[in-house]
Structure formats: C-alpha cells, structure tokens
Amino acid sequence: MTVSKFPVWRPKMIRLVVRLFVTLMAIFFATFPVPVSGQTTTYVGPYKSVQVERVVTYNPGSGAYDRYVKAFPNDGKSSHPVVLFNAPYAVRIVDSAWVARVGAVGMYADVNLPQSRRLYPCDGDCQIFAMPAVAENDLSRLGNVAGEIPGNTLLDRLFDEGYGVAVLLNGHYLGNDALSMMFGVQQALITLSDDSRVEKVVIVGMSQGGQLAIHPLTFPSGVPGAIPSDDPRLLRILAGAVSLAGWMEPAKMWEFMKKNPWFYNSYKNRWAASFGMDPANWSGITYESLASRFHTPLLMIHGTDDCMVPVNQATEFFSAIKARGGSANVWVYENGPCNESVPITTSAHGVLDQGLNPATGGRWGIGKMTLIQNFIRDKMPLDHDVSSDGNTLPGMLDELAGKYFMSATQAERQNVLDIIAQAGNPRIQYVSSDPLLSGAGDKVVPALKDQVFKAWQSRITIVRVPEDYDMKYVFYGYAARWFMSDVTPAEQAHIVASVATRANPHIIYVSEDPLFSGRGNEVVWRISDKVVWDIVWWFILH
C-alpha cells in the first residue's frame, strides 16, 4: 500500500490558502484597481434632496484614478455654472502606503512648533495628521475649504442659490509627486466640460488648494501627461479661479532644498520628485512664467501675518498678471507682519479659518465669503435673487472704502474699484427690507458706494486700549522687516500703506498714555519715531 506523503489536512489547508488568496486579491484590486481607460459615474446619496454623483476617471497623465463628486440643484435650468472646490485633504486607503513610507524615513511636520523649527527629521515615532472621515455626499464638510461652519459654508450658500458644485478629492495630495495633483485638477475640468449640464466652472481652494486652483491652469505645451493652458477645452470651460492664502511660487523651495539635502529625499518632498535638483527645471514655475500662461480671471485673498505662506506670494503674482494685462484682483487682510515666534495653529495661515465668530475674525470671515460670492456671480451670473445678501454690503463696502483711501498707489485703488464693480453686476438682484439695499446690482452698489465713501471721508472713529498698545508691537514688526536686506519694494509699499491706514486723522486714539492719545496722524507718527529710534539704537548697541 502506498502511503501519501501529504498529511490528510494538507488539501484542506491548500483550499483555505487559495480562498484566502482570492479574497485578498479581490480586496487588493478593489483598493488598487488595475489601470484601464474610461470613466464611471455612481450615485452616492442625496445632499439637500439633490443626488450627488461620484465620478472616477483613469488619468493617463498620472497613471492613477482621479475622483470628484458633483451635484446640480434642479431649479429648472438645462445647464448650471459650477464651482469646483479643492478638498483640503482626501485621505483614502491607497494613500496609507505613502503615509507609512513617510514615517519610515523620518519626516515630521509639527504645526505646533515655532516657525523656525517646523520641519525637521524626527527620531522614533512620527506623528501624521489626517482629516476625519467624511461621507462622499456630505458636501458641506467635504467642500469646506476654509474652516467654515458646516451648513453655512461658501459651498452651501452657492448651492442654495442654484449653483452646481463639485468637490475634487485630491487623492494625490499625500502622493509622492506634485504633478499628479495638478493632472487630477485638469482631468476634473475636462470631464466637467464634457457634461452637457455644465456651462462654466470657477475653481476655488485654500492653501495647497489655492495653489491647485492656479498652477494646473499654467502648463506650457510639451509637458508629458499635462494639458497646456491654451487648450481650447480649458479656455472654454473656465470662468475664474479663487485662491485663499495660496502657495504660489514653489520655485523658491529649490534654495531651501539645496541647503537642506534631507528634504530632497524620496517621499519627503513632492516637488523635488517632480522637478529634481536642476534649477533650470524650476524656471517654469516662477511668478512671471506662470503669469505668462495664466488666462483665467483670478481673485486672491491673503493675510499679512501669514507665516506659512507669505502674503507677497499673492501680491507679487497679482502684479505679474496685471503687468501682462491679465484679469486679477487681490484682497489683503491687514493684521501686522508674520510672528515667527508662535505656532502656525495660533497665527497667520489660520486667519482666514475663523468662521463667523466675531471674536476670532468673524467680520473678515463674512467679508471673505461675500467677496468670493460676488466674484463668482460676476463671472457666472444667475437670473434669480440673492436673498438678504444686501445686508452684508455696507460692511464690505466700508472695508473697501478704507482700503481705497489708504492705498499707496493708483493700481491698488483701481483694484478696489474693480472688486466693487463685481458686486454691481446688474444681474444680481439684492433683496432687503432697506430700500437702499434692494434692487439690481448696478443700481444698489453705486448708490451705496457713494454714501459709504462720503461717510468714510468725514467720520471719526474712537479706538481705545488695548488695541493701541498692540499697534506699537505691530509697528516693531513693520520696522524690523523694513530694514531686512531681502525686503522688496512691494513689501515696503505695503508697510507704508498699512501705517497710513492707522494714521487716518479721523481716528481718535484714547489712552492714559500720551504716546497713544490723539488723532491718528499725530499718534502714529509719534509711535513710528519711537519704534524706529529703538531699532536704530538696538543696531548701534549690537
């Protein structure tokens, strides 16, 4: 009798292993699908009674799948202007492999450290930050680009007015190169242009999302996998772009990498993976080069105290576009210079993220949303009323008037007038119980502008401590920056304009300290003299 060399349990084990292998392969291919051409659209649930569609498209440029969700309010129109939001993060299972590699090589970005020590190679465990899971049909959270209150976001306001919305899930946000992220934006714009319901698109994003609202629209011809900026499909579909605190010139990163070789290592820097260490490869992403290929109306919003992305990245790109005759507006929130000694979580980059809380920049939060809405309405107007929006106009025009009268140059004043003109679109119907604020935009806004500008020229504002004390330390920051060797003429002009804003003779500063008491034109120059002499003596003594 022949005795089998295999135990009796071996066939069962083999069958179990085969089944396990088949199951694991099914999971693998579901998570990491084999690249094939084509596009699939799936309904993922309702949002405000409107069906949300998930679009998955294979992208030959990046060799991966791009995903976005979209929804169109059914208001009886055959087509909709669409606002495309760059989601801040879209962490999927497929990104976990990259996250593991980051931890393995010791890259650590701790946002709670002072600015000068934010990036360093870590020892031991490396903390990875990720957004919580969000359902694909929860558009209010998924498309929340600026830390707004869910249910009252920019996306919600536009959606309620009848605008179609789409949220791009930047699956390559945590990927190991920069170009694949941009290819994903381009792919979404092209597939949206193929949708018969879509006439025009405005793309919106903050920080990295702000960069992704601009850079994908600037590719020259000949870049493998990229769609050039003059492609007729992009020119036809794009109505505008909005960047909030967007990161605009990564070309400057090359100098940082040259001094810090560890930052160049694989999986530590997405831009290095795309452009390498040859400086010639980075020449195409300077302000001037980008502006030469940017053909879309642009609105940029930024804060002066942004430590993560300096405000000059917005103002210099704005100047580069205007120098070439392009269409652009910029709104700068004046809040003093960047404070390098505090964490990002308490300064600067978050100044646009304060929602609607008046104690934490809420008035700016409302103004920001109104500016963006009016920009979008101007580029893609709808034939219906803007309910109660007129109630935000006086405050917005008041801020714009202050900016206008304290601007250092005619170009800055014209920029303010251009922003006001967007709110005066005749197809915007403002609705308010106040007759002055109710009616077509071309009737309401010019009349209100005249009233606000006249009042601004003649009014007196009382400013009390401690705000005036804070102003002294802001001026120390201005003066310190003024004397830096790398300060630019544009930055110096900004400092002059910011000081002039506080030097308004119609502002009365009230304080027990005589240094801080009196009209703005008297107080500010007293403080300026003191600050400048303090810094001069510091240089002499050191």
Residue 31 has pLDDT above 60, yes or no: no
Give 496 or 82, the one with higher predicted confidence: 82
Q: What is the pTM of this model?
A: 0.74
Q: Are 55 and 39 in contact (CB under 8 A)?
A: yes
Residue 264 has pLDDT above 70, yes or no: no
Residue 526 neighbours by CB distance under 10 Å: 14
Q: What is the pLDDT of residue 310?
A: 81
Q: Range(s) for CATH 3.40.50.1820 in the chain?
A: 59-382
Give 192 or 522, the one with higher predicted confidence: 192
Q: Are 528 and 475 in contact (CB under 8 A)?
A: yes
Amino acid at 67: R
Q: What is the pLDDT of residue 155?
A: 92
| C-alpha to C-alpha distance for 115 and 105, rounded to whole angstroms | 22
Question: Strand, helix or coil at 481?
Answer: helix
Pick the closest to residue 71 from 144, 149, 137, 142 (CA basis). 137
* Tokens 């060797």, residue located: 485
Biggest alpha carbon distance in the chain?
Answer: 114
**pLDDT-based confidence at residue 260 (cuts at 50, 70, 90):** low
| C-alpha to C-alpha distance for 222 and 215, rounded to whole angstroms | 16
CATH number of 59-382: 3.40.50.1820
Bridge-based pairing of strands 507-510 and 461-464 is: parallel
Q: What is the pLDDT of residue 177?
A: 62
**pLDDT-based confidence at residue 6 (cuts at 50, 70, 90):** very low
Query: Residue 353 has what DSSP assignment?
Result: G
Structure tokens at 442: 């071309």
Backbone angles phi, psi at 241, to 5 degrees: -140, 145
Give 541 or 27, the one with higher predicted confidence: 541
Encode 5-29: b = buried (16+ Cβ within 10 Å), e = exposed.
eeeeeeeeeeeeeeeeeeeeeeeee
Residue 72 neighbours by CB distance under 10 Å: 22
Residue 25 has pLDDT above 50, yes or no: no
Q: What is the pLDDT of residue 91?
A: 42
- Percentage of the chain beyond pLDDT 70 is 68
Q: What is the pLDDT of residues 123-169, one digit of tens each?
A: 333 333 444 567 888 898 888 876 677 777 889 989 988 899 999 88
CA distances (Å), origin 290, targets 178, 229, 238, 282, 317: 16, 10, 17, 11, 8
CA distances (Å), origin 261, targets 48, 113, 277, 441: 50, 21, 10, 55
Structure tokens at 150: 């869910």
Pick the closest to residue 61 from 173, 179, 167 (CA basis). 179
Residue 489 has pLDDT above 90, yes or no: no
Bridge-based pairing of strands 164-169 and 64-71 is: antiparallel
| C-alpha to C-alpha distance for 78 and 510, rounded to whole angstroms | 59
* Tokens 């949300």, residue located: 52
**pLDDT-based confidence at residue 344 (cuts at 50, 70, 90):** low
Bridge-based pairing of strands 198-206 and 80-86 is: parallel
- CA 233 to chain CA centroid, Å, is 24
Residue 116 has pLDDT above 90, yes or no: no
**pLDDT-based confidence at residue 273 (cuts at 50, 70, 90):** low
Q: What is the pLDDT of residues 402-438, one digit of tens each?
A: 888 777 678 888 999 999 999 999 988 888 888 888 8
